């Protein structure tokens, strides 16, 4: 089966829209979209069902935090942990999906070890199938249904509150949020050096995601081409940061797999060789990310980049 359609991250806003209603209403529709993907995950129709499910829940949780002025603090205290729990249950399945999808890529790294790697990736595929069964059981459980009911009810209650001051225009609020997050990204990216640890670069990746969510959700308020250019520049940086994070995840996964007692010494040696190849790719990704950061630094500090948010 083909992948499911993606949901829109753009809020249906006008200059006079009431964000206190539009945001929770849109989040509620996003949540229903995520829930519409459950059967596809349970039936193992396509890895994209799990991916879009996770992307949607992550975006929901991030927007709840980023736009916390719109959501009552007691509702935020409910939404954050419940959405996190729903996402966490699919962490391993998503990782294993990616590993199995990229099997041929790994085999190409060590063509002389094709037989051993094929056997190892058959084990990974079996792990993925077992995890898919576990996730399917979770999605069908009463506990899962209870978490979903809590999230849905919280979003419905949130629609009833009007927390923003009437004298704050929507576009002014959006400008402040976007400009603040741009500053956080700028401060974070300037700390990155060739010696930076992976988790420091990962922190920048998280801040960039938050900025992307804000740029996209408020995009209806910014018809100017500069806003579209800002999104595109950020996306290019995110692609590099994503590649770097992927190789970091791969190194951690295969290093742990190498400790598995099911593998004999020759298999562990093959995994060691694979990890060496991935580490080389990781270093290349680091250099590529650093180059992209130089370009992004020039862009983000250009006077025209943030002018539309002032």
pLDDT interval class at 167 (50, 70, 90): low
Q: Per the structure block, which two tokens stand in for 84?
A: 């996190």
The DSSP output letter for 164 is S
Mean pLDDT over 129-156 rounds to 98
Report the percent of the chain where pLDDT is more than 70. 98
CA dihedral 22, 27, 29, 32 (to 10 degrees): -170
Q: How many CA atoms lie within 13 A of 138 on its CB side?
A: 16
pLDDT interval class at 203 (50, 70, 90): very high
User: What pLDDT is stored for residue 164 in this prediction?
Assistant: 66
User: What pLDDT is stored for residue 258 in this prediction?
Assistant: 95
Output 7 or 48, whichever has higher pLDDT.
Answer: 48
User: What pLDDT is stored for residue 165 in this prediction?
Assistant: 62
Q: Is it the case that residue 278 has pLDDT exceeding 90?
A: yes
- Give me the helix-helix angle, 265-300 and 170-189, nearest 10°: 120
pLDDT tens profile 20-51: 999 999 999 999 999 999 999 999 999 999 99
Query: Which of 25, 28, 1, 30 has the alpha carbon at shortest distance from 13?
Result: 25
pLDDT interval class at 224 (50, 70, 90): confident
Query: Which of 207, 191, 274 has the alpha carbon at shortest distance from 241?
Result: 207
pLDDT interval class at 244 (50, 70, 90): very high
CATH fold group of domain 169-305: CHAD domain (1.40.20)
User: What pLDDT is stored for residue 5 in this prediction?
Assistant: 80
Q: Is it the case that residue 168 has pLDDT exceeding 80?
A: no
Instruction: Classify burial at 161, counting beta carbons within 10 Å of its beta carbon; exposed 0-12, middle 13-18, buried 19 or more.
Output: middle
Mean pLDDT over 153-168 rounds to 81
Q: Per the structure block, which two tokens stand in for 91?
A: 């962490």
Query: Which residue bears the tokens 């059967």?
Result: 39
User: What pLDDT is stored for residue 72 in this prediction?
Assistant: 93
Q: Is it the case that residue 261 has pLDDT exceeding 90?
A: no
Q: Measured between alpha carbons, how far is residue 253 from residues 98, 124, 207, 246, 306 in Å?
A: 12, 11, 24, 10, 40
Q: Is it the case that residue 166 has pLDDT exceeding 70?
A: no
pTM of this structure: 0.93
Which H or E run includes 64? helix 47-66
Domain 16-167 in CATH 1.40.20.10? The answer is yes
Give, rounded to a whole angstrom, the gap between the first and last alpha carbons of the chain.
Answer: 46
pLDDT interval class at 309 (50, 70, 90): very high
User: What pLDDT is stored for residue 9 in this prediction?
Assistant: 84
Q: CATH 1.40.20.10 region(s) of the chain?
A: 16-167, 169-305
């Amino acid at each position: 089966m083909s992948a499911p359609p993606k949901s829109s991250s753009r809020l249906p806003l006008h200059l006079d829209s009431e964000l206190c209603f539009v945001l929770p209403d849109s989040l509620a529709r996003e949540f229903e979209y995520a829930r519409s993907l459950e059967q596809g995950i349970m039936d193992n129709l396509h890895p994209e069902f799990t991916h879009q499910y996770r992307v949607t829940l992550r975006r929901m949780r991030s927007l709840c935090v980023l736009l916390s002025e719109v959501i009552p603090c007691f509702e935020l205290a409910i939404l954050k942990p419940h959405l996190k729990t729903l996402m966490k249950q699919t962490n391993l399945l998503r990782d294993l999906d990616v590993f199995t999808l990229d099997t041929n890529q790994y085999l190409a790294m060590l063509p002389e070890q094709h037989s051993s790697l094929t056997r190892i990736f058959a084990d990974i595929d079996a792990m993925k199938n077992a995890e898919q069964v576990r996730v399917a059981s979770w999605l069908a459980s009463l506990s899962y249904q209870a978490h979903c009911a809590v999230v849905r009810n919280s979003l419905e209650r949130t629609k009833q509150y009007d927390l923003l001051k009437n004298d704050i225009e929507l576009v002014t609020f959006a400008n402040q949020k976007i400009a603040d997050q741009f500053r956080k990204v700028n401060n974070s990216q300037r700390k990155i050096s060739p010696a930076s640890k992976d988790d420091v670069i990962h922190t920048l990746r998280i801040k960039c995601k938050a900025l992307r969510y804000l740029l996209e959700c408020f995009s209806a308020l910014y018809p100017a081409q500069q806003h579209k250019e800002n999104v595109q520049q950020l996306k290019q940086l995110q692609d590099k940061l994503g590649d770097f994070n992927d190789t970091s995840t791969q190194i951690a996964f295969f290093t742990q797999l190498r400790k598995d007692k099911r593998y004999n010494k020759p298999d562990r040696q093959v995994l060691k060789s694979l990890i060496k190849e991935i580490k080389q790719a990781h270093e290349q990704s680091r250099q590529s990310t650093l180059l992209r950061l130089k370009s992004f630094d020039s862009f983000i500090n250009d006077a025209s980049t943030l002018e539309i948010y002032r």
